[in-house]
Every structure is written in structure tokens, then in C-alpha cells.
Amino acid sequence: MSTPGFAGPVDAGLRAEVADRLAAAGANGTLPIVQSGDPVLRTPAATYTGQLGDLLIPLVAAMRRTMHAAPGVGLAAPQIGVGLALAVAEDAGAAQDPRERAPLAFRVLVNPRYEPLGEEDGGPARHASFFEGCLSIEGWHALVPRHHRVLLTGQDETGAAVEEALTGWPARIIQHETDHLRGELYLDRAVPRSFSSNANLVRLWGGALDPVPVSEALGFEVP
């Protein structure tokens, strides 16, 4: 039987694989996060049509626990070794953050897509450049230009259609996680000369909320 809201049949083999992963979860119910170099991170994820049946919700719950424990603000299924177009995202936000880090309520992204949008004031679509990290590239950050405002489309965990405009840091999170489902990592879009260890990003640049001083010191242009 397929999951309500999804028309496709259950994939018994994939379901068994996911069930084994959930059964092997740690004492806190978290799953191991795959690191860069594993082919699953470079393989476009399969469209979700109901392959997991009623295991979808337990998998989503485990992904949320894993994301929180890491800690992170998003996690895609390939990052736990499952090649399905599923991701979770959530961020409490931060006041007076130059990255426009508005709160992002917990959500499940199923078969997500995004496209750039013009600004709310009628201005053209534009990019913003800030440092990003990834739970699958431990210990590093780099400057990544992203669409400042995007239209997110796809489905939620019930199969209901999703269409939402997102701006600033929430838009960046959605782009980052959706890219994972395409077999892409943030380093594919990053300014190579900007790569910095997490420790140096904090020690030298206070977290690099403003990328300009970093660019001046390391010799790169902010896109």
C-alpha cells in the first residue's frame, strides 16, 4: 500500500533498507551522516512517489532528530544514505542578522524545486553571497552566491502541493537542501579561494557574517 497522498507502490527492497537504518539508529534515535566522497551525494535522488509507505513518517522524524543533534538547519535524505528526493529544514532564526535569518518553521520537502523570484518591491531577481557549511563536509565553510528570493514548489509529507516564496536565509536553506537532491554540494557553487576551516572562520572573522573583510584578507571578490 502506498502512503496516502502518493500514488506509487511501495518498494519492498528500499523499504527494508530504510527499516534497517532506522533499527540501527543510535540511542538518541539519530542516523550517521554521509560525508563528501560517497557516491550517494553525487547521484540525483529518485522522485518520491510512495516507495516507503508508512515508513516515511518515522524516517522524517529520524532525519529531524539527526538534523537537530548535528546541529544543522537542514538535512537531505542522501546525507543519510537514502537516495530519495526528501529533505527536512528548520531554523529558529536570529535577530539583526545581516543574512536575513528569519525563522523557518519545520517542514518536510518532498520532490522540491526552486526558481528565482524578483524582489517584493518589484525589483529584479538578485543574488546574495554569504558563507555556508554542510553537515556532509565537516569542518569547512565557503562563500556561496545564492538567489536572494525563490519560489519553492513540491510536496509535503502528506503529498499535498507546496508553493511558497522565501527570502534571505530561509531561501538559502531551501536551495542548499534541494541541491543535495540533484547530486550537488555547496562547494560546486562556492568561491574556491574563500574556503576556510570553521575554526578560522570563528577565530579570525567572528563567524564571517560580513564576507567583505574575509574577501579582502584572502584575495577574492564577493559575487
pLDDT tens for residues 163-216? 999 999 999 999 999 999 999 999 999 999 999 999 999 999 999 999 999 999
Give the integer Cα–Cα distance in Å for 165 and 173: 13
Condensed to tens digits (0 to 9), the pLDDT of residues 117-127 reads: 999 889 999 99
pLDDT of residue 26: 80
Give the integer Cα–Cα distance in Å for 151 and 166: 6
Condensed to tens digits (0 to 9), the pLDDT of residues 87-101 reads: 999 999 999 999 999
Catalytic residues: 177
Q: Domain 12-218: which topology?
A: Peptide Deformylase (3.90.45)
CB contact at 8 A, 117 and 165: yes
Enumerate the domain spans of the chain: 12-218
Binding-site residues for Fe cation, in ranges, read 134, 176, 180
Condensed to tens digits (0 to 9), the pLDDT of residues 136-160 reads: 999 999 999 999 999 999 999 999 9
> In the chain, what percentage of residues exceed pLDDT 90?
94
CB contact at 8 A, 88 and 191: no
pLDDT of residue 27: 79
Binding-site residues, in ranges, read 134, 176, 180
